[in-house]
């Protein structure tokens, strides 16, 4: 598929479940939400992810790349690996995007909440669920996980488009050089 038509399902694992966003190409936000899994949350999250594979038929699953130095719990890192394995099992590519890559995609934003506001401006349909900036004494609003997932998808699609343009330019340069 050309990048413009790639259907990307991005998920962000949270302590209470997972936030998700489905993009078709870089401009069409198809669906989003937060799946709240109370009991047996990891198994329920995997089941919900597989049901989204069936319902949405994504070309790619985009999840967070935690890197080596992470403060994320082992449970979350393991669950991300389980998600990647489930995607592979369903014939879906899986790409991991680091928070650092997201930050470089949104250079004027200082934190996740500013990135959420920037995404809400870009995708007006999701603006009503954009959480206010978090006060340090408050628990995190689960809606931020929707925007984290969306930021992973947007970053992945922008990188894929850039890689595609680069390879097309390389092919053209190679063709001209050969001839």
Tokens of 117: 């506001």
Q: How far apart are the C-alpha atoms of 112 and 12, rounded to whole Å?
A: 13
Q: How far apart are the C-alpha atoms of 18 and 47, rounded to whole Å?
A: 12
Q: How far apart are the C-alpha atoms of 153 and 148, rounded to whole Å?
A: 9
8 Å CB contact between 50 and 38: no
Average pLDDT along the chain, 179 residues, taken 10 residues at a time: 71 93 92 91 94 96 88 89 96 95 95 96 95 89 95 92 60 40
pLDDT recorded at residue 179? 34
Q: Is the pTM of this model over 0.95?
A: no
Task: Please list the alpha-helical segments (H only) found in the chain.
Answer: 41-56, 74-89, 99-105, 112-122, 143-178
pLDDT recorded at residue 36? 92
pLDDT recorded at residue 3? 44
pLDDT recorded at residue 133? 87
pLDDT recorded at residue 70? 78
| Pairing, β 7-14 against β 93-97 | unpaired
pLDDT recorded at residue 108? 95
């Amino acid at each position: 598929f050309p990048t413009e038509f790639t259907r990307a399902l991005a998920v962000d694992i949270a302590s209470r479940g997972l936030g998700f966003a489905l993009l078709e190409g870089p401009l069409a936000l198809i669906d989003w939400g937060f799946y709240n899994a109370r009991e047996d949350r990891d198994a329920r999250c995997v089941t919900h992810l597989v049901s989204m594979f069936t319902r949405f038929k994504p070309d790619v699953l985009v999840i967070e790349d935690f890197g080596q130095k992470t403060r994320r719990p082992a449970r979350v890192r393991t669950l991300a690996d389980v998600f990647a394995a489930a995607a592979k099992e369903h014939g879906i590519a899986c790409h991991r995007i680091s928070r650092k890559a997201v930050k470089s995609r949104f250079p004027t934003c200082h934190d996740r909440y500013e990135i959420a506001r920037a995404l809400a401006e870009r995708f007006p349909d999701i603006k009503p669920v954009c959480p206010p900036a978090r006060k340090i004494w408050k628990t995190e609003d689960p809606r931020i996980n929707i925007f984290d997932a969306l930021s992973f998808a947007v970053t992945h699609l922008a990188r894929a488009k850039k890689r595609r343009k680069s390879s097309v330019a390389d092919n053209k340069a190679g063709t001209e050089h050969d001839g």
